[in-house]
């Protein structure tokens, strides 16, 4: 079976590593991939949002199944385009991916279907938005409606910050069209967790919960990043809360999307927060989370390709999970998430280890060494029976990066915040 994975980050490398465990012997292509992926699969230089290029490649190379990593391809209709040509692809259509592509759509949808989330209002006019901010006061959250590469959310602790965010989106157009509408929502306090599920129409098959660490430095200090590490499952989250989130959030969302004529097949990601009134939705994504995937997939006992085929066909994939903990810390380039060093050769890494290494921003040189290309370079992860052992393994391994100050990593991943 020939499989094409679309994307180039850690999430896609984790998908590839999981697919490689298949007994079927899959022939895996990745567009465009990265250095780590190139050592395990065939990378093809097609950008992840070049829908025509991807379609042409899939047809010319008789790809049997395509798996989509990033949101941009989904919201631009890669699934619609492949399905129109009779090709098998896993992910939601453009219409269903709107749950991630428009925060205004997602909020209105949740309100209509009684899915717990923060109160909000949407604005296109700056004066009306400012008047609302003044009425509500800080803390308050300002979000660009559309996709803004993870930078479109401002959690404002002062009214001035909130006004500045609204002005930069609505007046200065800092996110272009994506910020021509803003959602202003109530600030929720609580512990966050991510709950992803395989979904086919109304059918929802939840994965284990995970938590990512978004701030750059230890103890959740410093700027927001794409994610500096993650762990799964979440020891401080009891099963009742997970069950509540499946019954009152994920299932009604899948059902509601069907009722809206936007039937969802693919991965539904709930970014959730525990509040005194129960879990509420912070955001929905229409794809696997990054870096959550890197720690959730290693705990999945099933063969990923079979799960995808089953879910797509409307069959129960009968998910089973390892009884253990996965933890992963991201090694980032000095300076990230601001301007960061690039093209730095990675140090020699331990060969004898049962950690898993997932590349995000690397390339493979002709001499066989890896060089950094991105802010987040790679993730070092481990699965153990208890979280402390997993942490110890990971932190023993990442010491290899202490030889230079070209890289940094958080030292507190997996400590329950
Ligand atoms: P992003 O990944 O850029 O969408 O980051 C969103 C982050 O902003 C979330 O993980 C939360 O930590 C925070 N956030 C978003 N909405 C709210 C909210 N209503 N209340 C509190 N924090 C929020
Ligand atoms: N980890 C958050 C995301 O994938 O959007």
pLDDT at 347: 92
- pLDDT, residue 352, reads 80
Q: Where are the domains of the chain?
A: 2-93, 119-186, 192-312, 325-408
What sign does the dihedral 253-256-260-261 (CA atoms) show? positive
Strand partners, 199: 204, 266
Q: What is 307-370 written as a DSSP string?
A: HHHHHHHT------B-SSEEEEEEEEETTTTSS---SPBPPP--SS---EEEESSEEE-TTS-E
CATH number for region 192-312: 3.30.470.20
| 8 A C-beta contact, residue 159 and residue 129 | no
**CA 195 / ligand 2 centre spacing (Å):** 11
Determine if ligand 1 sits within 6 Å of the CB of residue 187. Answer: yes
Residue count of the chain: 417
Q: Note the ligand closest to the C-alpha atom of 289.
A: 2
pLDDT of residue 7: 98
Nearest CA to ligand 1 atom 11: 282
- By three-state DSSP, how is residue 272 classified? strand
Q: Which ligand is nearest to the CA of 330?
A: 2
Phi, psi of 141 (to 5 degrees): -120, 130
The residue whose CA has the least distance to atom 19 of ligand 1 is: 187
Distance 288 CA to ligand 2 centre (A): 8
Question: What is the number of the ligand closest to the CA of 292?
Answer: 2
From 273, 277, 290, the mutation candidate for ligand 1 (largest count of ligand atoms within 8 A of CB) is 273
Do the beta carbons of residue 254 and residue 284 sit within 8 Å? no
In contact, 198 and 311? CB cutoff 8 Å: yes
Which of 330, 326, 329 lies closest to 390, judged by CA?
Answer: 326
For the Cβ of 155 lying below 6 angstroms from any atom of ligand 1, the answer is: yes
Residues in contact with ligand 2 by the CB-under-6-Å rule are 212, 227, 285, 289-290, 292
CATH superfamily name and code, 119-186: ATP-grasp fold, A domain (3.30.1490.20)
274 CA → ligand 1 middle, Å: 13
Quote the pLDDT of residue 171. 82
Q: Helix 10-20 crosses helix 304-313 at what angle (to 10 degrees)?
A: 100
Ligand nearest to the CA of 283: 1
Topology of domain 2-93, CATH: Rossmann fold (3.40.50)
The answer for residues whose C-beta is within 8 angstroms of residue 388's C-beta and 6 or more apart is: none
CA 14 / ligand 1 centre spacing (Å)? 25
What pLDDT does residue 327 have? 98
Q: Is the CB of 185 under 6 A from ligand 1?
A: yes
d(CA 145, CA 157): 20
Q: Where are the beta strands (DSSP E) in 162-220?
A: 182-186, 192-200, 203-206, 211-212, 215-217
For ligand 1, atom 2, the nearest C-alpha belongs to 150
Whose C-alpha lies nearest to ligand 1, atom 16? Answer: 282
**Residue 271, token pair as written in the block:** 């970014």
Q: What is the pLDDT of residue 416?
A: 56
Whether residue 25 contacts residue 48, with contact meaning beta carbons closer than 8 Å, is answered with no
**Closest ligand (CA of 285):** 2
Q: Which CATH class is domain 325-408?
A: alpha beta
Q: Pick the atom of ligand 2 nearest to 285's CA.
A: 5
CA angle 40/82/200 to nearest 5° reads: 85
CB 346 within 8 A of CB 369: yes
Query: What is the atom index within ligand 2 of the atom nearest the CA of 150?
Result: 5
Q: In whole angstroms, how far apart are CA 153 and each of 158, 182, 225, 305, 336?
A: 15, 10, 12, 34, 18
Ligand lying nearest the CA atom of residue 69? 2
Residues of the chain with pLDDT under 50: 417
The CA 282 to ligand 1 mean position distance, Å, reads: 6
Which helix H or strand E contains 262, and what residues bound it? none
Q: Residue 291 in contact with residue 212, Cβ under 8 Å?
A: yes
| Alpha carbon separation from 86 to 64, 73, 313 (Å, rounded) | 11, 18, 15
Residue-level pLDDT at 172: 82
Contacts of 243 (CB under 8 A, 6+ apart): none
Is the pTM value of this prediction over 0.85? yes
Tell me which residue has its CA closest to atom 13 in ligand 1: 155
Q: 78 C-alpha vs ligand 2 centroid, how far in Å? A: 20
Does residue 183's CB lie within 6 angstroms of at least one atom of ligand 1? no
Instruction: Identify the three-state secondary structure at position 150.
Output: coil
d(CA 188, ligand 1 centre) in Å: 9
282 within ligand 1 shell (Cβ under 6 A): yes
Atom 5 of ligand 2, nearest CA residue: 289
């Amino acid at each position: 079976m020939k499989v094409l994975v679309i994307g180039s980050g850690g999430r896609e490398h984790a998908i590839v590593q999981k697919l490689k465990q298949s007994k079927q012997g899959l022939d895996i292509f990745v567009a465009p991939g990265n250095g780590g992926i190139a050592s395990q699969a065939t990378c093809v230089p097609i950008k992840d949002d070049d829908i025509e290029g991807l379609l042409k490649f899939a047809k010319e190379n008789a790809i049997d199944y395509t798996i989509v990593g990033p949101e941009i391809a989904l919201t631009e209709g890669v699934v619609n385009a492949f399905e129109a040509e009779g090709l098998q692809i896993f992910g939601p259509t453009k219409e269903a991916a709107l749950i991630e592509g428009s925060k205004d759509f997602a909020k209105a949808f949740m309100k209509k279907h009684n899915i717990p989330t923060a109160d909000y209002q949407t604005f296109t006019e700056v004066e009306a938005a400012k008047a609302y901010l003044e009425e509500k006061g800080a803390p308050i959250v300002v979000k660009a409606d559309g996709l803004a590469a993870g930078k479109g959310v401002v959690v404002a602790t002062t009214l001035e910050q909130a006004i500045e965010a609204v002005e930069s989106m609505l007046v200065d157009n800092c996110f272009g069209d994506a910020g021509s509408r803003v959602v202003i929502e109530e600030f929720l306090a609580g512990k966050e967790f991510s709950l992803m599920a395989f979904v086919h129409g109304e059918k929802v098959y939840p994965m284990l919960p995970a938590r990512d660490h978004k701030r750059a430095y230890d103890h959740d200090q410093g700027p927001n990043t794409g994610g500096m590490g993650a762990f799964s499952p979440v020891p401080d989250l009891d099963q009742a809360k997970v069950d509540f989130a499946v019954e009152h959030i994920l299932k009604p969302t899948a059902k509601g999307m069907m009722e809206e004529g936007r039937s969802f097949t693919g991965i539904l990601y709930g970014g959730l927060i525990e509040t005194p009134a129960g879990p509420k939705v912070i955001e929905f994504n229409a794809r696997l989370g990054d870096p959550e995937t890197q720690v959730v997939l290693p705990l999945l006992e099933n063969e990923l390709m079979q799960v995808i085929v089953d879910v797509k066909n409307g069959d129960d994939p009968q998910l089973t999970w390892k009884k253990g903990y996965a933890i992963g810390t991201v090694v980032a380039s000095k300076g990230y998430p601001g301007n960061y060093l690039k093209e730095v050769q990675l140090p020699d890494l331990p060969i004898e280890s049962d950690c898993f290494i997932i590349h995000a921003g690397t390339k493979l040189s002709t001499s066989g060494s890896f060089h950094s290309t991105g802010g987040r370079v790679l993730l070092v992860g481990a699965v153990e029976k208890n979280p402390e052992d997993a942490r110890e393994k990971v932190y023993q391994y990442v010491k290899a990066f202490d030889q230079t100050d070209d890289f940094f990593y958080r030292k507190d991943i997996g400590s329950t915040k």
